[in-house]
Structure 1
């Protein structure tokens, strides 16, 4: 039995359509798709050349007639047509050519999404073949479910989901959001801060992939055991126009991203200040849970714990919490279905 034969046994799917990556979960099959939210388009023919990992390899390496783009920014759609083209290809990779008309689709969205942005996402999903039974679930709720927090119990749980484009901070109880905030400062802004610093300090221009590598290898939000490490960076000298190599330190990178990271910490403090006393007591006892790719920034949990005085945990598989949450909703829809909303 081939891959597409196996996944076609189930009609339903959970989707985490993220700024950085898209993940698809099929009940009974776990995560069947996990690739970057990128599409390469031939402008001469207006056709898709590649999506996901293949398109990512093309970043900065395409001819003039080919655009390699991320059709989502800050967690929401910036171009419906490009998103539809990308989604169509992603769904085909995950599901084969099966008809989605009778499927139930649960898709995570930022809690601060506007009605216009939500309609754009629904339109893109429908054009991609998902005609009926589209449920939207707020990403912090999905992340909390995926992280194993007791969202259906009368206790307060705090989730901080730091994605590529948005940071979602929420206090949950009894399957609902008590208070939340969605700020469009997250992993992408940290990456951009690194690019700006190198350009300003060393006259060095680097690409997105290099900045991401720097963030993952020596990026940190709080002093760690690897503070003595350095990293050699290659880029383009903005003055001479020639290739250039510089060596940067862990401390340099921590300092250049500090302002961006502080905005995330401020969003957490803001929600804590507005949390009802009983639920605040639960959070003090149980701690703050971090999810999303941003949770992997070294020392971020320590920084948040130091700034708030509340123990901070990193969820198991933080990158996959949202899609696991959508999957759990599908697999236990009678109990968890009211955490989502029908569109």
Structure 2
């Protein structure tokens, strides 16, 4: 009798890598970063340890982000990162008898999907399939996507924002925009450069975003983030204070772009499914869902009820549990 295949679910995010293994739960939830020894090509660190090296490396160490805008930009680094993750779980040794699900943004090309599939095959996993992040994220948010009632999801990740409508176990329509968490960081860098004459790194921008980002109209108290960088004029280290109001001015046009994508999806949604969305509202997940005021912003702009999922950062990888069980098949799930 053949042994049961081991299920592995991977949320291969631009910012964070999450890996779920049946029987072990989520075994990895850390930044998608890997550090190499330049001479030996050996992996020095991965995840959080490698992330702490960004911007501080020297000529003997190379720190790499294997993904950019939701797709693999460095296959060798991506393979090394996954190998690093799996080596940390001692009881996972035989990848040949495993089923691997990799989640990707909704509008990646077939070539990009094949690159993701090749990544798992190079790890020794033969049975690999790809699913869209919004599908897994909806399941992870507690939505029964296999029912005839439609659900709409806005997934604001690190590299991409995906907006889609799901019904009867699959994505009816979706759109993706490469405006998300990393894009916000870059806009903060540009703003600080222009308005404060200070050059800062992405990690500093991300910390400011996490600390003071908001879309709330009536904030009780303006918050301040202290950012350190290099003075554009003197070339010396300097700090500035950036307020939540300043970050809000950066966020508003970005979230307007995301809202425009949501408009497009709603305009293309069939009438019966649109009626369901009026009743069921919109689910928001991904790291961007953690910004205060996101719920109120989308409700104001779209005139629909909005719910932030309870687990925005892990919804996608948690949703892989169900998809692994039936390999994404509507019929297999519907018969359960």
2:252 aligned residue = 258
Which residues of 2 match residues 143-162 of structure 1 at below 5 A? 143-162=137-156
Contact 2:18 2:30 in 1 (8 A): yes
Partner secondary structure for residue 95 of structure 2: coil
2:65 is aligned, of 65, 70, 80, to: 70
Offset of 1:146 from its aligned partner?
Answer: 0.8
Distance change >3 Å, CA 338–CA 82, structure 1 → 2: farther
Matched, 1:32 2:46: no
Partner secondary structure for residue 211 of structure 1: helix
Offset of 1:332 from its aligned partner?
Answer: 5.4
Partner secondary structure for residue 46 of structure 1: coil
2:51 is aligned, of 34, 49, 56, to: 56
Contact 2:131 2:328 in 1 (8 A): no
Matched, 1:19 2:14: yes
Contact 1:17 1:23 in 2 (8 A): yes
Partner secondary structure for residue 104 of structure 1: strand
Q: Partners in 1 of 2:146 and 2:67 — Cα distance?
A: 31
**Cα RMSD for the two superposed structures:** 1.9
Offset of 1:106 from its aligned partner?
Answer: 1.3
Q: Partners in 2 of 1:128 and 1:337 — Cα distance?
A: 30
Distance change >3 Å, CA 100–CA 214, structure 1 → 2: same
Q: Partners in 1 of 2:218 and 2:17 — Cα distance?
A: 31
Offset of 1:293 from its aligned partner?
Answer: 0.7
Contact 2:117 2:130 in 1 (8 A): no
Q: Partners in 2 of 1:335 and 1:148 — Cα distance?
A: 18
Q: TM-score, normalised by structure 2?
A: 0.93
1:296 aligned residue = 290
Partner secondary structure for residue 96 of structure 2: coil
Q: Structure 2: any 5+ residue segments left out of the alignment? A: none
Q: Partners in 1 of 2:38 and 2:91 — Cα distance?
A: 26
Matched, 1:285 2:285: no
Q: Deviations over 1:172-204 (max 9, x none)?
A: 100111111011111110111111100111111
Contact 2:168 2:330 in 1 (8 A): no
Q: Deviations over 1:50-104 (max 9, x none)?
A: 1111101111111123121211011100111111111111122245550100101
Partner secondary structure for residue 317 of structure 1: coil
Contact 2:95 2:123 in 1 (8 A): no
Q: Partners in 2 of 1:94 and 1:278 — Cα distance?
A: 46
Matched, 1:113 2:108: yes
Distance change >3 Å, CA 55–CA 268, structure 1 → 2: same
Matched, 1:222 2:233: no
Matched, 1:328 2:325: no
Partner secondary structure for residue 23 of structure 1: strand
Contact 2:227 2:241 in 1 (8 A): yes
Offset of 1:43 from its aligned partner?
Answer: 2.0
Partner secondary structure for residue 314 of structure 2: helix
Deviates more, 1:281-290 or 1:222-231: 222-231
1:44 is aligned, of 13, 20, 39, to: 39
Contact 1:24 1:94 in 2 (8 A): no
Contact 2:208 2:226 in 1 (8 A): no
Contact 1:162 1:187 in 2 (8 A): yes
Distance change >3 Å, CA 15–CA 94, structure 1 → 2: farther
Offset of 1:276 from its aligned partner?
Answer: 1.0
Distance change >3 Å, CA 173–CA 216, structure 1 → 2: same
2:303 is aligned, of 304, 309, 312, to: 309
Partner secondary structure for residue 268 of structure 1: helix
Q: Partners in 1 of 2:89 and 2:265 — Cα distance?
A: 37
Offset of 1:29 from its aligned partner?
Answer: 3.0
Distance change >3 Å, CA 318–CA 336, structure 1 → 2: farther
2:203 aligned residue = 209
Offset of 1:127 from its aligned partner?
Answer: 1.4
Offset of 1:334 from its aligned partner?
Answer: 8.6
Q: Partners in 2 of 1:338 and 1:168 — Cα distance?
A: 26
